[in-house]
Amino acid sequence: MPFPHKSTVARGAAVLGSSMALLASLGTGSASAHGAVSDPPARHYGCWERWAGDWQSPDMATEDPMCYQAWQADPSAMWNWNGLLRDGVGGNHQAAVPDGQLCSGGLTFDGRYAALDVPGEWQTVDKPNSFTLNLLDTSSHGADYIDVYVTEQGFDPTTERLSWSDLELAGHVENIPTGTTTPVNVNAPGRSGHHIVYTVWQASHLDQSYYFCSDVNFTG
């Protein structure tokens, strides 16, 4: 009986690896929650959206290196793109999420999302200085409030880890009813180039706080 061709074995291994990663993610409770910023995409949501169908491709290393390092660090962070949260924060976000760990929600879930804190050439989307952010609320939790911050001009996301002092409040909404999409108006004048948009979503159904880093290129 002939042995299978190497490419057949490789494809089978890739499918098995993908299936195991998906099963692992379902075991963490992703099926019961939750959401993420979809536009401009949060780092982990963007990595999932661009690469979930081909997450073991070697092309990712050159085409999307920051997503590559994130997938390599912990694939479950992307499969669980809708679960970057902390429970019981009580509104004291700066105490729960230390400087340098904002994008990972303070290394929540034992550091599952730690790769999102790493500075580098994260892919950006072009935005004017005033734009509408959208939160994809997959479980229709609603929001007590959503705060949207933008890094100050001069901050360099390619070399610096994000701190609270780097941020300026640029958008705020309160008492958002349940629904699958939640738009928030953002106004960030005086900025150009690569910036981080940082969103804090305080869900309504529980004391549950979500934290998202999105990368934008302000076009003026």
Q: 155-176, pLDDT tens digit by residue?
A: 999 999 999 999 999 999 999 8
Residue 1 included in any domain: no
Alpha carbon 78 to its chain centroid, in Å, reads 8
- pLDDT one-digit tens code per residue, 50-74: 999 999 999 999 999 999 999 999 9
Average pLDDT of the chain to the nearest whole number: 87
In a domain, 102, yes or no: yes
Q: Give domain status of residue 193, yes or no.
A: yes
Q: What CATH number should be reported for the domain holding residue 144?
A: 2.70.50.50
- Please indicate, yes or no, if residue 151 is contained in any of the structural domains: yes
Q: Name residues whose C-beta falls within 8 Å of residue 105's C-beta, 6 or more positions apart in sequence.
A: 84, 85, 86, 97, 113, 209, 210, 211
Please tell me the pTM assigned to this model: 0.85
Number of domains making up the chain = 1
| 163, amino acid identity | S
Q: Is residue 200 part of a domain?
A: yes
Residue 72 is part of which domain span? 6-218
